[in-house]
Structure 1
């Protein structure tokens, strides 16, 4: 490897490492470290239950088989249990419902066992608990902004890592009957890891929380003391608590004696039987000197070391694909385009006119030909005397290449919405690489994304108006309303319809009506005026983009196209497959974090930013090649084609999501499947709008550049 290549690789490696380190080192600006003194209360917050096999989430206190809040206040704390914690927009969008619990946790105070409550449940509640255990739901509790974690150790016992949340229970076979039984975790060992606070707070006895682990256990009702706690919570041979209510066979026979329906088991009958579930917990504090407060999230990134090589492989794959396409673009530009422009483009038609004039004078002086008008260029090109080089290919389209496309009034708002999404995506990636957006700011990614999307409405209106004006549009108000209402309106409608299904399931995934109203206000009261202001500036204060060639009054007829050019959809999908190949490897980690392992966090935004930059370059190169092939075929309908070629990789991302659903996920239920495919399609539409806009602008700049070198009147 040459020294300059090693230098480039080393520089790139340092950039990625810097981004990765920044994502761990920085937290939200303005939020200081929270330290606790001995015996000071640390509030434990309960959030929700979620599963990798379902898109439906449930607020913790909405579950009928957990301890409800008592409404009591903790010492030195202003809010009572059950009080809802103020949430940002992102937390509500991701289904969080955070409330204060009744757990009594004080810094440095170990509790061997503390009784919480006895929860009485019916058969219906028991069936719900069994279904959630079967669905592998996990619970999320929060202590000092850290989610309660399940601790794991690697096979070689060299490294420890966390998985956010802990399971509700488990399934096992009853050794006596051999039937499958459901067991509920009703005792929780809470382990809080702390260290001395940095700076002056630590000198004054302050301590900070650097780890929060939850070890659940299932303990049967029997063998409990007067306080309600088991006699021995640390024993390994304790009988677990089975979710089972025995049925009364006599009552079953009498109840359904005159009915044609007879339940198959006691679980199906409604006999009013109940079951009591006792809940207890233990608290243990351990000092952890080798973990800094700023690095306490590192253990949640469990695949950091193992996946680094794969991320580099994704970058190398992207570089290879982008490099091959770049070489093709260099050939097109350096040999074909520049050769055409320099060899036959500059002054080509003027030279033809001079030759025609000399030929006319020669023929007139010899008396062989008399003309009353100047000979045409076509007559000279068909002559055998002093033949001129024929004008072919893309140069023939100079009078039609900038002809406004059909349905330009739709393309302009799409490009404006694409610019809006590009601004949002670039902003999110930049803030994530800087470490401002990280797991410690719960919901920050969605909140900032919504804010950037609304603010970018001004850019959307401006670019949409300029494109619309370039197409010759006159009704700028209509274009403004389409830009402001088309994509956001479809987005809001889809979210509202899906919300109805979530409401029917009593899931916390459903957005509250107040949140929907707030989103509508952001859309109609903030973004709409910004789009209108940007459109006014782009239409009246800015001129239309000037083109280097004039457009003919009569459109040129497009000749018969080759087989691969006739089906433009096929051409676009084929080009989109190239861009998808750049994104494919990194997409594996994104899907795993979103769907397969919701307890993990996607954190490698440095790698994702590099992949995104290479993806944009690849899309630009693909669009240049596809546009040049189209122009060489004397087809000037490139406006929509460039947009479709740029956004076609979104189709393959959706195909990948369908394959991922069928082969990797185990999502059950109609509503969960509907949510998965609807939000996947929405994400792919956002991706296609952004990449389609990149392709459109690339093709526009490319064509302006090449036709700017050919001087024709």
Structure 2
């Protein structure tokens, strides 16, 4: 394909995505697959997941039926980091040809196999499968009178309960699967496209006569019935030396849903109305507060600047008050200025990654059908944004009269990612110790290290070199040689108090959306409302900037010129509230009981809070930096 044609195709695709809101689409190169009657449909198995342990396992880690040879599907970086292990399975269908009472295999459990099944049933593990890139879902009704269906990803390995009037709890396995494949038929070609993949699991103790073989007729089911099993009065128990026969039946159902819209049913949940109302409510409140803050600040600053510039007599000029009084110290380099440069540069890197990722997500390029696409995109964007991190840190470092730009570049390239890497390696060791498929393999670890050392670090040095060659940023006013003494501050201007107060409003802008994000990650639900997430990100940026500017103005009016670090920590303190909210979510919404799973949760949320701190802190710092330069360049300084 030549360049003009490719550009035209990309432009038209972007236009379609914008019109349809990123839901009903397919990307270039991701064409739908047409099936004729009788074509083979290969079901793939994915990981076993549990919201109680948060530790994924491979499907074949349990003694399920296996095909003759297990073939792993090619996976991207994001899928590997998420613990996805996509493999072939013995479940093979023929398009639009129902199959009833199909025997997959027979297993005789030993003590070890029975124990493994019982452990997974105790931890409420679900089996995940894929057909034509669609995940297997189990439709569930909210109530008897409710017609709304909610789709649960996968089906439970089994269940635990009392049976036959006994008080002893027993374990039962779901060994019979009733699949439903929904398809949309093309009226012209009569080919079909798969638009749904559903299952209803049952626990059935199968009976048969004579010796068992693959062609044995099971007396516990009627293969000529429309639906093999509707209920089971004799469920399959999980015990040592128990015989388990795994079976399935598949039916095909024609649907009016088109291929381009097949994900819509999975992405629309019953909580949509609450979600929309909450987001709009939060948006209105934050915009109202931001508008009030902006109005007060503009009016106050206009009056101050006008008053300072209208001073005529020498006596009046000598009677400086408020924020103008500290003009000789306001641009004095702060303590630990090198560290501030590093964190400011890293924040620019995170900011660029977040904004570009959200833009791609809103346009629909990071759809759920592209498994691992979101995480892969964020990793690569973060790596390539290293050039902006190096440039920003070097520019700020040169403004502070620094000369060793290589040292700043080195710290920018290693401090933040090195901290994340240490925590990640510790968590990965815990996962590896649990023999979970979520543990990152050695080859992937090597790829991550290559991305860091081979691409990110050189780009940081390139950006630092370019930034160090630029002309230093000039201060709008001269800095006195002797620092001015800071007067005693009021209790409400205490640094700790003002920093903690400053983080409340940015956190308030995102905490409602944060609930849905945490639910998506830790309760294994779909999240695809990136349009709202992008709006919330914009609100977060505005809120961080405005609250930092307001508190910085009050600080300067109190003749406290140590604003550099405080501006960073003011908006960055919202990360503390994020971590506290994550702890609240853990104890109120999750049922994690294993210590390792709890450590994984708080470890990953600590990483997320650290990234959030760097992101929001940088936004507040640069807003305050722009604000102070603006006001001190707008007044006459003798």
- Give the counterpart of 1:219 among 200, 204, 228: 204
Alignment of 1:494-533 (within 5 A): 494-533=423-462
- State the Cα deviation string for residues 135-172 of structure 1 (Å, max 9, x = none): 11111100000011101235445433422211111111
List, as ranges, runs of 4+ consecutive aligned residues in structure 1 with deviation greater than 4 Å: 18-21
Which residue of the partner structure matches residue 182 of structure 2? 193
Q: 1:461-540 alignment to 2 at 5 Å?
A: 461-540=390-469
Return the TM-score normalized by structure 2: 0.92
**Shift of the alpha carbon at 1:244?**
2.2
Q: Distance in 1 between matches of 2:618 and 2:248?
A: 55
Partner residue in 2 for 1:553: 481
Q: Following the alignment from structure 2 to structure 1, what is the Cα–Cα distance between the partners of residues 142 and 285?
A: 34
C-alpha distance in 2, partners of 1:204/1:586?
Answer: 44
* C-alpha distance after superposition, 1:172-214 (max 9, x if no partner): 10224321111001111111111124xxxx6333210010011
- 2:398 touches 2:468 (CA, 8 Å); kept in 1? yes
- Aligned partners of 2:109 and 2:239 also within 8 Å: no
How far the C-alpha of 1:122 sits from its partner, in A, is 2.3
2:509–2:540 Cα contact (<8 Å) kept:
yes
- Residue equivalent to 1:74: none
2:266 aligned residue: 300
Give CA-to-partner distance per residue, 1:524-545, whole Å, 9 cap, x none.
00111111111111111x2222
Q: What are the superposed Cα offsets for residues 227-256 of structure 1, whole Å, 9 maximum, x if unpaired?
A: 2463214252441111123xxxxxxxxxxx
Structure 1 pair 167/19, CA: closer, same or farther in 2 (3 Å)? farther
Q: Report SS of the residue matched to 1:53.
A: coil
Give the Cα separation in 1 of the matches to 2:357 and 2:232.
Answer: 50
1:129 to 107, 113, 117: 117
Return the alpha-carbon distance in structure 2 between the equivalents of residues 40 and 236 of structure 1: 31
Question: Tell me, what secondary structure is at the counterpart of 1:105?
Answer: strand
Contact 2:202–2:231 (CA under 8 A) maintained in structure 1: no
Residue of structure 1 aligned with 2:346, choices 396, 401, 417: 417
Contact persistence 2:98–2:250 (CA under 8 A): yes
1:474 and 1:137 map into 2 onto residues whose CA distance is: 57
Per the TM alignment, residue 69 of structure 1 is displaced from its structure 2 partner at its CA by 3.1
What residue in structure 1 maps to residue 564 of structure 2?
Answer: 639
Q: Give the 3 Å change call, closer, same or farther, for CA 562–87 of structure 1 in structure 2.
A: same
- Among 119, 135, 139, the alignment partner of 2:127 is 139
Q: 1:162 aligns with which of 145, 151, 159?
A: 151
Find out whether 1:673 has 2:638 as its counterpart: no
Q: How does 1:45-124 map to 2 (within 5 A)?
A: 45-63=44-62, 65-71=63-69, 82-124=70-112
- Quote the residue 1:587 is aligned against: 514
Q: C-alpha separation between the residues in 2 aligned to 1:115 and 1:309?
A: 44
Mapped contact 1:150–1:166 kept (Cα < 8 A)? yes
- Could you tell me how far 1:67 is from its partner in structure 2? 1.6
Q: Cα gap change, 1:706/1:655 in structure 2, threshold over 3 Å: closer, same or farther?
A: same
Alpha-carbon contact 1:28-1:441 (below 8 Å) kept: no
> What CA RMSD, in Å, does the superposition of the two structures yield over aligned residues?
2.0
- Residue 309 of structure 1 deviates from its aligned partner by 4.6
- CA drift of 1:648 comes to 1.0
**Is the 2:65–2:90 Cα contact (8 Å) retained in structure 1?**
no
What's the CA shift for 1:20? 9.8
Kept in 2, the 8 Å contact 1:164–1:300? The answer is no
* 8 Å contact from structure 1 (residues 311, 586) kept in 2: no
Aligned residue in 2 for 1:26: 25
For residues 251-309 of structure 1, the C-alpha deviation after alignment (integer angstroms, 9 at most, x for no partner) is xxxxxxxxxxxxxxxxxxxxxxx333221211211111x211111111212426x4235
- Please list every run of 5 or more consecutive structure 1 residues that lacks an aligned counterpart in the other structure: 1-17, 72-81, 246-273, 354-380, 382-386
1:281-339 deviation per Cα after TM superposition (whole angstroms, max 9, x unaligned)? 11211111x211111111212426x42354233333333233224323322322x2222
Q: Structure 1 pair 216/20, CA: closer, same or farther in 2 (3 Å)?
A: farther
Segments of structure 2 that go 5 or more residues without pairing to the other structure are: 1-16, 222-227
Following superposition, the deviation at residue 553 of structure 1 comes to: 1.0
In 2: Cα distance, 1:453 partner to 1:520 partner: 13
For residue 507 of structure 1, give the secondary structure of its aligned residue in structure 2: coil
Q: Distance in 1 between matches of 2:275 and 2:61?
A: 41
Distance 1:90 1:235 in 2: 39
SS at match of 1:208: strand
State which structure, 1 or 2, has the greater radius of gyration over its C-alpha atoms. 1
Aligned counterparts of 2:503 and 2:612: Cα–Cα separation in 1 = 12
2:5 corresponding residue in structure 1: none
State yes or no: 1:339 paired with 2:303: yes
1:660-702 C-alpha deviation (Å, 9 max, x unpaired): 1111110121110000000001101111111111000100011
Confirm whether residue 242 of structure 1 aligns to residue 237 of structure 2: yes
In 2: Cα distance, 1:176 partner to 1:340 partner: 83
Question: Would you say 1:391 and 2:357 are equivalent positions?
Answer: no
CA contact (8 A) 1:27 1:440 kept: no
> Aligned partners of 1:430 and 1:235: how far apart in 2?
47
Please state how far the C-alpha of 1:119 moved relative to its aligned partner.
2.5
Measure, in 1, the Cα distance between the counterparts of 2:505 and 2:18: 27
Q: Does the aligned pair in 2 maintain the 1:417–1:689 contact within 8 Å?
A: yes
Whether 1:544 and 2:472 are equivalent positions in the alignment is yes
- Give the TM-score normalised by structure 1: 0.83
Instruction: Report the secondary structure of 2:91's partner residue.
Output: coil
Distance 1:464 1:189, change over 3 A: same
In structure 1, the partner of 2:536 is 611
